Amino acid sequence: MEQQQQQHLFITLSFFLVFFLHCSTPTLAQAPALAPAPPGPTNVTKILEKAGQFTIFIRLMKATQVANQLLGQLNNSNNGITIFAPSDSAFSSLSAGTLNSLTDEQKVELVQFHIIPTFLSSSQFQTVSNPLRTQAGDSADGKFPLNVTTSGNSVNITSGLTNTSVSGTIYTDGQLAVYQIDQVLKPYQIFDPRPPAPAPAPAKSKKKAAAIAESPDDTTADNSKAVSLTAMQNVVFWGVSAIVIALSL
């Protein structure tokens, strides 16, 4: 009689054990469901990669974070964006060491000087008023002026230091226009031929270090959550087992 009861208890416990393991395992293993990616803003990097021969400009846009800024702007701006993308051969025709001699801030300005915060179709170049305002800012003479002139189908661009012309349309969709140019547009503000005044040391940003330091904490928080979940399941399991034992005795 006693042996039968113990056997009964053992079967009941086994049943609950299997039941709880079965129920709890999927809960623990469950990963956050990945929502389908929204269409999102146009990816300029992707467009330039697909076109080929813009590897240096892409690298600069990524290194300066301008690529990310553009994603945000394309998502929020109703005016659109126009990009004069210098080809790799444009960069290779710069004198050696030009890019390396620039400060981080100047690299940002150089990239931004090739971006107009307005969509310009090729026909709009005929009526646009000079100087164009670029993302680099102040378009006054000696700063970041950029002028466009057209004759027939050709579109000439000048920064005062660089004369070039649009050599092709890479992409246009009514909001974003990307044109190829075969020379890097040099703004006066950075490439003033007059002897430069000593540049002030660029201020170091602490933001990046802080962002990196944040991640180990996140991991710890996740781990402790997982641990406490397991602990709670153990409590539930033993609690239920105790009730089962009490009932069957």
Ligand X SMILES: *[C@@H]1O[C@H](CO)[C@@H](O)[C@H](O)[C@H]1NC(C)=O
List residues near ligand X by CB under 6 A. 40-41, 43, 45-46, 49, 71-72, 75-76, 130-131, 141, 145, 147, 149-151, 154, 156, 158, 160-161, 163, 165
- Residue 158 or 175: the one with the smaller Cβ distance to ligand X is 158
Closest CA to 59 of 106, 95, 93, 99: 99
E-strand ranges in 115-204 read: 115-116, 147-151, 154-158, 163-172, 176-181
Contact assessment for residue 141 and residue 160, using Cβ atoms and an 8 Å cutoff:
yes
Which residue is closest to ligand X by CB? Answer: 160
149 pairs with which residues across the strands? Answer: 156
Q: Minimum distance between the CB of residue 106 and ligand X, rounded to whole angstroms? A: 19
Q: How far is the CB of 205 from ligand X (least distance, A)?
A: 22
The nearer residue to ligand X, 71 or 102, going by C-beta atoms, is: 71
Q: How far is the CB of 108 from ligand X (least distance, A)?
A: 19
158 φ, ψ to 5°?
Answer: -135, 140
In whole angstroms, the minimum distance from the beta carbon of 57 to ligand X comes to 14
Distance, first Cα to last Cα, the chain: 12
Nearest distance in Å: CB 216, ligand X: 24
Q: How far is CA 21 from CA 28, 52, 73, 114, 225, in A?
A: 10, 54, 50, 60, 19
**Residue 139 or 248 with smaller CB distance to ligand X:** 139
Q: Which is nearer to ligand X, 3 or 76 (CB)?
A: 76
Q: Which is nearer to ligand X, 142 or 239 (CB)?
A: 142
User: Which structure tokens are listed for 126?
Assistant: 């005929």
